[in-house]
Amino acid sequence: GNSVTQMEGPVTLSEEAFLTINCTYTATGYPSLFWYVQYPGEGLQLLLKATKADDKGSNKGFEATYRKETTSFHLEKGSVQVSDSAVYFCALKETSGSRLTFGEGTQLTVNP
């Protein structure tokens, strides 16, 4: 079946540091890939997405590129802020149906 694996967390960075959160997936066919973010006390919010190989999703300074050859969708940001502190979830959606399969999440803490 489909699965998503995220780097083991949590991740603690200083403000303005470079961020990478690794995500790899296993799926049949050509899934769409997503990053969701969950701020404390809030629901999950879509951060960015990519629907086909080599697509780059970007939003709020975050980027992720759909790499079919390595089955990866790593999240990056060049300079994190304290306000980026949250839990980040990588997810995939199969080409048929609309079920989202999530990774286990990565807690990011950014210190001033």
List interacting residues with another protein (CB under 8 A): 4, 32, 41-46, 51, 89, 91, 93, 95, 97-100, 102-105
Q: Quick one: 28 or 79, whose CB is closer to another protein?
A: 28
Q: Quick one: 96 or 112, whose CB is closer to another protein?
A: 96
Pair 64, 55: CB distance under 8 Å: no
Q: What is the CA radius of gyration of the chain?
A: 13
Q: Quick one: 16 or 46, whose CB is closer to another protein?
A: 46
Shortest distance in whole angstroms from residue 12 CB to another protein: 17
Shortest distance in whole angstroms from residue 70 CB to another protein: 21
Shortest distance in whole angstroms from residue 105 CB to another protein: 5
Q: Quick one: 19 or 34, whose CB is closer to another protein?
A: 34
In this structure, the number of other CB atoms found within 10 A of the CB of residue 43 comes to 7
Roughly how many angstroms between the first and final C-alpha of the chain, as a whole number? 41
Pair 58, 66: CB distance under 8 Å: no
Secondary structure of residue 82 in the 3-state scheme: helix
Shortest distance in whole angstroms from residue 90 CB to another protein: 8
Using alpha carbons, select from 4, 23, 2 the residue that is nearest to residue 103: 4
